[in-house]
Amino acid sequence: MLKYILKRLGTGLLTLWIITTLTFFLMHSLPGDPFASEKAIPPKVKARLMAKYHLDKPLIVQYGYYLSGIPKGDFGMSMKVRGRKVSDMIMKKFPVSLDLGLRAVLFSFIVGVSLGIIASLNHGKKWDGISMIVAIIGVSVPSFILAGTFQWLILLIGKQMGVYVLPIAGYSSFKYTIIPTIALGLMPVAIIARMMRASMIEVLGQDYVRTAKAKGMSTFKVTIKHCVRNAIMPVLIYMGPLTASITTGSFVMEQVFAIPGLGKYYIQSLYNRDYTMVLGITIFYAALLIGMILVVDILYGFIDPRVRLSNQKGE
Q: What is the pLDDT of residues 113-139, one digit of tens each?
A: 888 888 888 877 787 778 778 777 777
CA distance 249 to 97: 9
pLDDT average, residue stretch 19-43: 76
Contact (CB, 8 A) for 297 and 8 = yes
pLDDT average, residue stretch 134-159: 78
Better-predicted residue by pLDDT, 124 or 197: 197
Which helix (H) or strand (E) segment holds residue 238: the answer is helix 233-248
Q: Give the pLDDT confidence score for residue 41 in this predicted structure.
A: 72
Give strand pairing partners of 77: 85
Given the candidates 3.40.1390.30, 1.10.3720.10, 2.60.40.1930, 3.20.20.450, the CATH classification of the domain at 91-262 is 1.10.3720.10
pLDDT average, residue stretch 48-52: 78
Which letter, b or e, does each residue of 224-261 get, where b requires 16 or more Cβ atoms within 10 Å of its Cβ? eebbbeebbeebebbbbbbbbbbbbbbbbbbbbbebeb
Better-predicted residue by pLDDT, 26 or 251: 26
Better-predicted residue by pLDDT, 72 or 37: 72
Q: What is the pLDDT of residues 261-315, one digit of tens each?
A: 887 778 778 777 788 888 888 888 888 888 877 877 777 666 555 555 455 554 4
Output the CA angle 225-242-182, nearest 5 degrees: 90
Better-predicted residue by pLDDT, 272 or 61: 61
Better-predicted residue by pLDDT, 33 or 105: 105
CA dihedral 44, 47, 53, 57 (to 10 degrees): -160
Q: Residues with Cβ < 8 Å from 305, sequence gap 6 or more? A: none
Please give the mean pLDDT across all residues of the chain: 79
Q: What is the pLDDT of residues 3-12, one digit of tens each?
A: 777 887 888 8
Q: What is the DSSP letter of 228?
A: I
Q: Give the pLDDT confidence score for residue 18 in this predicted structure.
A: 92
Better-predicted residue by pLDDT, 87 or 135: 87
Residue 248 clears pLDDT 70, i.e. is over it:
no
pTM for the whole structure:
0.75
- The residue extents of the domains of the chain are 91-262
pLDDT average, residue stretch 85-107: 87
State what percent of residues in the chain have pLDDT above 90: 2
Say what angle helices 59-69 and 2-28 make with each other, to 10 degrees: 140
Collapse the DSSP code of 77 into the 3-class scheme (helix H, G, I; strand E, B; otherwise coil) and give the result. strand
Better-predicted residue by pLDDT, 24 or 263: 24
Q: Give the pLDDT confidence score for residue 107 in this predicted structure.
A: 92
